[in-house]
A = this chain, B = another copy of it.
């Protein structure tokens, strides 16, 4: 059995990353509470640096490097939040970052990563070419791979969001996160189920990309194939490490329909005046599809990120 992180590792990660991250606020909305019948506490990782919780894991990975590794730097392939997170975490610590991005990535994302001073290598938009290109970059530079989710230090970093949430909101009955690759969910489960075993940890997942739900129900790993969801951060399969943690600790996974994800996203924008990306809206959509389970419960929801293209919004 593989070695899994524990709550103490997450507390250590928090001490390590605290000077570099934002302590994000926990916001509430009376009108959304009224609509859902639950008491919701939104942990705003959309307000984290680079606009996503990913900055926690990337920062912890960078700060966990050896002196020799700091010299050769870090590398990853990503077109999304992890690329920006790793690029900024590396720059803040004065170490090189090598990012492999598909050449069809949105211009705004390329610009963001370049703006953080990372070395970008473009590749074809296939997983095979991304991995081959990344391997080539690593071979040439000696950089250390930082995986977007299936990595010990990354999971510990993501778990610090729920540690911080527990310092800000008390007496929670339930904590929810979205699940894509499973880094945020694994870190949350690791911390909460050890420190606060009475709190239920529930994942929200798009019905159009419900591989984690299917894996959990069927008791074995099922990959994410042909995901159909607006929640672009959640179109990913679990890794071996995140699968193991989720399978052994999760209380429940609820899926959500696409229209409900968009409605939940709009509700947060309109009622709370914060920008969340579709992935962040999935737990709230799941709450609204399953009101009985959440009625009168105190529910912490980790809003995972806020990176959207303002020129292409799903609102009318």
Contacts and interface: CB of A to CB of B under 8 A. Distances in A.
Contacts of A276: 273
Contact of A27 (B47, B307, B316): B47
A114 interface: no
A30 B116 CA distance: 12
A30 B49 contact: yes
Interface stretch (A187-195, A205-213, A243-251, A264-272): A264-272
A274 B310 contact: no
Q: Is the interface of A mostly helix, strand, loop or mixed?
A: mixed
Nearest to A306: B273
A interface bracket (residues with beta carbon within 8 Å of B): 20 to 34
A46 interface: yes
Contact of A274 (B30, B115, B274, B313): B274
A315 B310 contact: yes
**Total copies of this chain within the assembly:** 2
Nearest to A277: B273
A281 interface: no
A273 B46 contact: yes
A25 interface: yes
A51 interface: yes
Interface centre among A115, A269, A270 (most CB of B within 10 A): A270
A275 interface: yes
Contacts of A269: 275, 310
Contacts of A310: 266, 269-270, 313, 315
A110 B307 CA distance: 31
Interface in A276-316: 276, 306-307, 310-311, 313, 315-316
A38 to B, nearest CB: 19
A302 to B, nearest CB: 14
A103 B276 CA distance: 33
Contacts of A272: 47
Given A49-B30, A313-B313, A273 B274 contact: yes
11 contacts: A25-B25, A31-B115, A46-B273, A269-B275, A269-B310, A270-B310, A273-B275, A274-B274, A274-B275, A310-B315, A313-B313
List the 5 closest A-B pairs by CB distance, nearest first. A273-B306, A273-B275, A25-B25, A310-B315, A46-B273
